Amino acid sequence: MADASCNNQHRWLWVPAFAGLHLHPPKVHYDLPVGGRRLLQQVDGYDATIVSGVVTQRGGTATGARPGRLVRGAQGDRRQFGAAAG
């Protein structure tokens, strides 16, 4: 059983039994715009995937929830990225 804890600055999930996880081989999916590809990999042995407090996967099955948002390019004030922003 997984134990989760979070506070205002850090969010983490502790999975004490990594041996109980089973990773399937990754597969290439060509489902991005203009034929772009990405790797998807299924895993068995976890209870849920939670994004922004919303369960997106339960027992390896998608719930249909999509709480995230698309991010394109630099966001916010460039100064927040320091010297790396150029």
Answer with the residue of higher pLDDT: 51 or 9.
51
Q: How many domains does the chain have?
A: 1
| Bridge-based pairing state of the strands 54-58 and 48-51 | antiparallel
| Bridge-based pairing state of the strands 43-44 and 61-62 | unpaired
pLDDT at 13: 64
Q: Is residue 1 part of a domain?
A: no
**Per-residue pLDDT averaged across 55-65, rounded?**
88
CB within 8 A of 43, min separation 6: which ones?
21, 22, 23, 24, 60
Give the structural domain span for 36.
Answer: 23-63
**Lowest pLDDT segment from 16-20, 43-47, 57-61:** 16-20
- Position 56 pLDDT exceeds 50: yes
- Position 42 pLDDT exceeds 90: no
Q: Percentage of residues in the chain with pLDDT exceeding 70?
A: 66
pLDDT at 14: 61
How many C-beta atoms surround the C-beta of residue 14 within 10 A? 8
